[in-house]
Amino acid sequence: MTELSERIQKADWKKEKHVPVIEAPDQVKAGEFFEVKVSLGKEIAHPNTTEHHISWISLYFHPEGEKFTYQVGHFEFSAHGESAAGPNEGPVYTHHEVTASLKVGKPGTLHALALCNIHGLWESSKEIGVS
């Protein structure tokens, strides 16, 4: 039996459109809010069609030296041009990009997971220092 972790794909986001891009400061002040933006397709555009789209992005924080990872947020994208008129004929499309505001008390790692409805789960991570 395979583990779910074996199904999570990683790559360089500059070469692979499915990898989440985490934009956040390298260093933050303990207890002060900062913004984290997670998007896909920064260098190579990802389609956003009824047939091929990003379904969701989840953001996590793992504090340095601790056992557990904490979920920051889970963001679903529900509009991909679907309509009664047919695929890609709908009036609204969501864009696979989110911004979250958070504060941390110690350094750690941000992890982002994204699900492409065709190409599966993709992950990236970014270290965050605290002063």
Catalytic residue status for 52: yes
**Active site residue: 52, 74, 95, 106, which one?**
52
Catalytic residue among 16, 96, 97, 111: 16
- For residue 46, indicate whether it is catalytic: yes
Catalytic residue among 82, 119, 123, 126: 119
Is residue 15 part of the annotated active site? The answer reads: no
Please tell me which residue in 18, 53, 80, 111 is annotated as part of the active site: 18
Contacts of 8 by beta carbon, 8 Å cutoff, 6+ apart: 113, 121, 122, 123
95 is annotated as an active-site residue: no
Is 23 part of the annotated catalytic residue set? no
Q: Which of 80, 97, 111, 116 is catalytic?
A: 116
| Annotation says 62 is catalytic | no
Marked catalytic residue, from 46, 53, 96, 111: 46
Distances from the Cα of 32 to the Cα of 61, 70, 104, angstroms: 15, 18, 7
State yes or no: is 111 an active-site residue: no
The H-assigned helical ranges of the chain are none
How many whole angstroms separate alpha carbon 74 and alpha carbon 128? Answer: 20
Please provide the DSSP assignment of 3-24 as one string: -GGGG-B---TTT-TTS-EEE-
Residues carrying an active site annotation: 16-18, 46, 52, 116, 119
